Structure 1
Amino acid sequence: MKQGLIVFLNGTSSSGKTSISMELKKQKEIPFHHLSIDDFFGNYNDFIDNKFPDIEPTREVDNVGQILFDPIMSVYYATIKLFSEMGLNVLVDTVIDNDKRFNDYLELLFDHPTFFVCVLCSKEELTRREQLRGDREIGLANSQYDTIYSFDEYDLEVNTEELSPAECADKILSYIKSDQDYSAFKKLSKREISIS
């Protein structure tokens, strides 16, 4: 049995990754499983709220995100790899917003069929979408923009201002069905991480 395909959608928050993923899940030609980092954090928060509904901390913790982020990300990475190892096709819906995270993905998925897709959107449109959504900090996407779009190798780029989510999904499916090689991820190198 061959490894499942990993469709890695790289784009800022509000760029349209989840909408494209939902369209890819709806089609019947190639089955996909959607793994969003938002679900991993949301499920963890639900677990805490449900398991410990009456919890009352005895002290304030300022760095909750720092304590939880890396371990939850590790479980997310491992789940992507596990699904591919089980022969399942995976839609990766996350944000590569720093070099360490990119290196972790590259190391983990280098030997897996990874289709690296850039999900583009202008800064102005990202701000408009954040305002419409109401569940994202205004300016989050713009703060991620330069880091996320710093990669110069992609198998495919889709622009969510020019194409609807369904059209982006069709473009991705057409590429997959064309039997072209997924080589961009393998051409990328680990990034130097500065320690401050």
Structure 2
Amino acid sequence: MIIFLNGTSSSGKSSIARELLRVLDEVWFHLPVDAFHAMRARRDLPPAEVAAVLRRTWQGYHRAVAGMAAAGNHLVVDHVLSEPWRLRDCVELFDPEETVLVGVHCARAELERRERARGDRPAGLAAGQIERVHAHGVYDLECDTTDRSAADCARRIKEFLPVRPRPTAFRRLRDQERDRDRDRG
């Protein structure tokens, strides 16, 4: 199973993921997209190459997640789906019946406060991602970390897992994509 946390930078995804590892039964792995970016050598790249390197990083990350899940591992993934192709890639790769898509929301003012406190993100990054990250509008479950703790969100997700409805968000998104492809073709 994959618990897929999607939200802006500083929305609380990693904090929820850490709490999920603490409260979930069985063995779970947290695979944050930031860990994949951190593995890349820090080199100055010509601006024309940055987008291609980042895209390959995200594509590799998606395939690593799919591989871990295919090997029978339970995963908590935290990601920023700020570009439509990222969601399409994940929907194509991950088993839609075993993926729970969780929208992680947070008020703009709180996102900005968290960014300032972290000091490791450009100012305005999260606020600039809000509309794009949640543009697809389809989730199995949504959490708002503005006033709710990561532990509360993790407990809510854990309680949701055994009663999650069908079709899943990933199944609905996959079906929407196939309908679009059929209409285009």
Question: Which TM bucket (shorter chain)?
Answer: 0.7 to 0.9
Residues 121 and 159 in structure 1, CA contact (< 8 A), matched pair in contact too: yes
- How far does residue 35 in structure 1 lie from its aligned partner after superposition? 0.8
1:158 is the counterpart of 2:154: no
| 1:134 alignment partner in structure 2 | 119
Pairing 1:113–2:98 present = yes
Which runs of 5 or more structure 1 residues have no equivalent in the other structure?
50-56
Percent of paired sites with the same residue: 33
1:20 to 2:16 alignment: yes
Q: What residue number does 1:40 align with?
A: 36
Contact 1:114-1:182 at 8 Å conserved across structures: no
Paired letter, 1:32: W
Query: Which amino acid is the alignment partner of residue 7 of structure 1?
Result: I
**How far is the alpha carbon of 1:167 from its aligned partner?**
0.6
Q: Any idea what the Cα deviations from partners look like across 1:93-151, whole Å, max 9, x if unmatched?
A: 11000111111111112545110101010111111110111001110011111111222
Q: 1:107 is matched by which residue type in structure 2?
A: E
One-letter amino acid of the structure 1 residue matched with residue 177 of structure 2: K
Distance 1:79-1:182 versus aligned 2 partners, 3 A rule: farther
Give the secondary-structure state (helix, strand or coil) at the position aligned to 1:190.
Answer: helix
Listed one character per residue, the Cα deviations across residues 150-194 of structure 1 (whole Å, up to 9, x for unaligned) are 2222111111012100110000001113364461111122397xx
* Aligned residue type for 1:106: V
From 76, 79, 84, the counterpart of 2:69:
84
Q: Distance in 2 between matches of 1:100 and 1:174?
A: 31
Amino acid at match of 2:151: A
In structure 1, C-alpha distance between the alignment counterparts of 2:159 and 2:129, rounded to whole Å: 29
Moved more, 143-152 or 21-30: 21-30
- Closer/same/farther in 2, CA of residues 80 and 128 from structure 1, 3 Å limit: same
Give the C-alpha shift of residue 68 in structure 1: 1.1
Number of residue pairs aligned between Structure 1 and Structure 2: 177
C-alpha distance in structure 2 between counterparts of 1:182 and 1:83, whole Å: 23
Taking a change above 3 Å as real, the CA distance of residues 108 and 138 of structure 1, as seen in their structure-2 partners, is same
Equivalent residue, structure 1, for 2:183: none
Partner Cα distance (1:95, 1:172) in 2: 19
- Which whole-Å deviations, capped at 9, do the CAs of 1:11-59 have from their partners, x for residues lacking one? 00000000000111123523211111111110122xx68xxxxxxx8xx
State the TM-score, normalized to the length of structure 1. Answer: 0.82
Alpha-carbon RMSD across the aligned residues, in angstroms, is 2.1
| Counterpart-to-counterpart distance in 2, 1:72 and 1:85 | 20
CA distance in 1, matches of 2:167, 2:67: 19
Task: Give the ranges of 4+ consecutive aligned residues of structure 1 lying more than 6 Å apart after TM superposition.
Answer: none
Partners of 2:155 and 2:23 lie apart in 1 by 9
Q: Name the SS for the 2:56 alignment partner.
A: helix
